[in-house]
Structure 1
Amino acid sequence: MRYMATYDLMETIRNTNQWLGASAAALGAYPAMSLFPNPAMEWMRAWGEVTERTFQRMVVKPDWNIPTIVGASGKDRIITVEKEIEGAFGDLIHFKVAKRTSKKPRVLLVAPMSGHYATLLRSTVHSLLPDCELYVTDWHNARDIPVSAGKFDVEDYTMYLVDYLRHLGPDTHVIAVCQPAPLTLAATAYLAEDEPDAQPKSLTLIGGPIDPDANATDVTDFGHRVTMGQLEEMMIQRVGFKYPGVGRMVYPGLLQLSSFMSMNSEKHSKAFSDQIARAARGDASEHDKHNNFYDEYLAVMDMTAEFYLSTVERIFKNGEIAKNEFVVNGKKIDIGKITTVAVKTVEGGNDDISAPGQCIAALDLCTGLPDAKKASHVEPGAGHYGIFAGSGWRNNIRPLVMDFIHANGGVAKKPVKKPANKNAAA
């Protein structure tokens, strides 16, 4: 029962605020209130609407809601999401484009497991779909996974990626965003040594902490400042009775969200006060800029305790990937075994989470890879989110990534038939 009470206390506070918001919204919308034209009633209703939506979103997994894309013929292509591989801790999903006939490069987009759902990459997915046959790792919320499913740490995560790459085959191109970059690099090295025929053709690492000490940030400073005992004592709780994963030790999403919000508390406070004012004036809408951002930002998921703690200890504190000392299932992974997979790193010039220098360290670790198969890019002025979902991604990074994929074994183009030369020898 240790820490189960605190987990349920957080859920109780969230649930109570959601109820208060719903009550205020209902009371403010009551017809009798119209008899008293007092702006306070409109403010109460607006506060209730924003508050109810805010706290309700914290326990809802967002839908993908990928809009249609335009095919080569100019017709809309509907996107459907299909489960390719189902697992206890995550699924491999396929974004199938209806009536697509032309072959596209097969791409595995590895989503981060860092407190948000894979839907955080929604805009990234939509931007890649016209040019890729896209697969995405869809990690599950730990509070919904029964204790009987067992543990899930960085080694299990790595083996999930190995299994996905085995399934997709050697003609696959991998894009890893943020947190999974070091583990994706390890999974590729695992295959390079044991099953070279299953390794992907290219690997693009975006804003990942390959060597967290290469350029210190608040994240890396926190990792070194706090001991593992303190981290386990402060951050780890046991899932309460409300969810299927009751009894599982987790790093709660609500706890991480509170940390996220406190880092920019003034900015978030202003955003919500402005939204309440817009709702009171009738200017707010279901899919306005505020709701589009916070519906995703507030939707958080729990991580298993062993995954969170092993990430901090092995990736950040011990630097096992940076030192090329990472071990999976008793087997030491040698990143130098990667000799044929083209590797590209992408960093943001203003990234304050994985600062420039942390990700490009992967290229130095690939000692067996010729320089011709290495590439890197630093996007000037881009923050962490902007390197995979902002204008920097759309205008500069995505075209560079697609060029890299095509240059390293993308779908082969049909040869162009030249007209016969009548003067050529028979």
Structure 2
Amino acid sequence: MLYAFHELAYQSALPFRIGAQMARQFWTSPFNPASDTAIGRTAYASAELFESVTRRYGKPAWKLDTIDIGGKPVRTTEQVIWQSPWCRLIRFARNIGDLKRAKKPAAGPAVLIVAPLSGHYATLLRGTVEAFLQDHDVYVTDWINARQVPVLEGRFDFFDYIDHVRTMLAEVGGRPHVVGVCQPGPPVLAAAAVMAEAEDENRPASMTFMGSPIDARLSPTVTNQLAEEKPFTWFRSNMIHTVPLPYPGFGRRVYPGFVQLYSFMSMNEDRHRDAHWSYFNSLIAGDGDGVEKHEEFYDEYLSVLDLTEEFYLQTIDIVFQQHLLPRGLLEHRGRKVDLTRITDIGLMTVEGEKDDISGVGQTQAAHGLCSNIPDDRRVLYVQPKVGHYGVFNGRRFRDEIYPRVRDFIAQNEALIGVPQRSAAAA
């Protein structure tokens, strides 16, 4: 019933939102002599703030039609390479002529960026994708909101996620490089192990994990502690709700995005309250930069999607409660996932010193688990002074993290086809 009540509350606020929009137009009208007074600016700011916090935030656009590479504008074309009811594989094809003017090679190593399926849309990685487009042929997983998928399309669970990663690597072709940001770490690592054991010709040449809960037992955060303290039945009873009409996924059981958003915001309630107070003051003062910065962040942050019941609950169980992958107990389609079978796939882990979602140590645990990767194909990096978001976005990511990942990918690109000895053999 919670989902239905949520929709009812949203629809009930519609008259007030319309009123706020009318007030906003009235107090910004050039024909209103009071528009530039303290009262007028305060009234406008109040209406704008109310409208922004009660708005329905849909899926954001990628806004990567033109990017800057080497100081030159380079056009990109968004291409859907493959899709299922649950995901679209998007390629951002760079214009060859523009690349030549930017003095960049027309081709670069193929990189599949696996975006989190944890409440936000893949566009949260806009800055990540833009950075990788500087030097690579970039593909990204664009996950579909579960409430938009009809019940007749069936289930989507943790193991389907692994299969999707395998399929998309094959669609990219060759031996691409894979980058898992946050949540995808465990299923992407499992997919790499399954492909390595099968000697799949499309197994990744390298894998980079950023702020991922590979072993959530290490440096537990508030998120990890909640997952361990609550029994599994609590998550099933309190976090799963039924999609109401008029959504295409009517009747599907999901973990709603708005529930996860509330959970995230409640963890940093003071920070979000202060941000909106600063936004209100920026509106009054006419501080365009402050307003734009706030809206750019929250337009993305408040856009959320639903997860299927089975995927969410299996992730809680497999990753955060039983820790099956680091304990060597995970099975996929009846076969044990053996991380020691990975021998010719480079491994890089990136963590943030102040990460309060995936604590330091959780991601780098992959190095100990993948014991047969040669030492010269490993990079373990902890970025000082950044939290979870800063691991894959922002100034320090662009200036300090991305160059290291770029060099790591280039090193492993050069080794494709070169016979490798495992660490054990060495």
**Does the alignment reach a TM-score above 0.5?**
yes
Greater C-alpha Rg: 1
The verdict on how the C-alpha distance between 1:93 and 1:411 changes in structure 2, with shifts beyond 3 A counting, is farther
Does the 8 Å contact 2:175/2:201 carry over to 1? no
Residue among 81, 90, 95 paired with 1:98:
95
Distance apart, 1:269 and its partner CA: 1.5
Residue of structure 2 in register with 1:13 after alignment:
9
- 1:176-218 Cα offsets, whole Å, 9 max, x none, are 1010011110000010012432211111111100000011111
Distance apart, 1:258 and its partner CA: 1.2
Residue of structure 2 in register with 1:88 after alignment:
85
**Number of positions where the alignment pairs a residue of Structure 1 with one of Structure 2:** 406
Q: Secondary structure at the match of 1:246?
A: coil
Query: Residue 69 of structure 1 aligns to which amino acid in structure 2?
Result: I
Quick one: distance in 2 between partners of 1:304 and 1:403?
A: 37
Quick one: distance in 2 between partners of 1:396 and 1:228?
A: 39
Quick one: distance in 2 between partners of 1:9 and 1:21?
A: 18
Does the 8 Å contact 1:54/1:298 carry over to 2? no
Residue among 267, 274, 291 paired with 1:270:
274
1:360 equivalent to 2:364? Answer yes
Residue of structure 2 in register with 1:112 after alignment:
116
Distance apart, 1:352 and its partner CA: 1.0
Quick one: distance in 2 between partners of 1:170 and 1:334?
A: 23
The verdict on how the C-alpha distance between 1:97 and 1:36 changes in structure 2, with shifts beyond 3 A counting, is closer
Distance apart, 1:284 and its partner CA: 4.2
Quick one: distance in 1 between partners of 2:89 and 2:171?
A: 10
Distance apart, 1:272 and its partner CA: 1.4
1:307 equivalent to 2:311? Answer yes
Distance apart, 1:70 and its partner CA: 4.5
Residue of structure 2 in register with 1:45 after alignment:
44
Mapping 1:373-388, distance limit 5 Å: 373-388=377-392
Residue among 348, 354, 357 paired with 2:352:
348
Mapping 1:86-165, distance limit 5 Å: 86-99=83-96, 100=99, 102-165=106-169
Mapping 1:405-424, distance limit 5 Å: 405-410=409-414
Which structure 2 residue ranges, 5 or more long, are not aligned?
100-104, 417-426
Distance apart, 1:280 and its partner CA: 3.2
Residue of structure 1 in register with 2:419 after alignment:
none
Residue of structure 2 in register with 1:236 after alignment:
240
Q: TM-score, normalised by structure 2?
A: 0.90
Does the 8 Å contact 2:349/2:381 carry over to 1? yes
1:248 equivalent to 2:244? Answer no
Percentage identity across paired residues of the two chains: 38
Quick one: distance in 1 between partners of 2:345 and 2:298?
A: 38
Distance apart, 1:286 and its partner CA: 10
Quick one: distance in 1 between partners of 2:251 and 2:370?
A: 41
Distance apart, 1:411 and its partner CA: 9.6
Q: TM-score, normalised by structure 1?
A: 0.90
- 1:348-383 Cα offsets, whole Å, 9 max, x none, are 111111111101111111122222222210111111
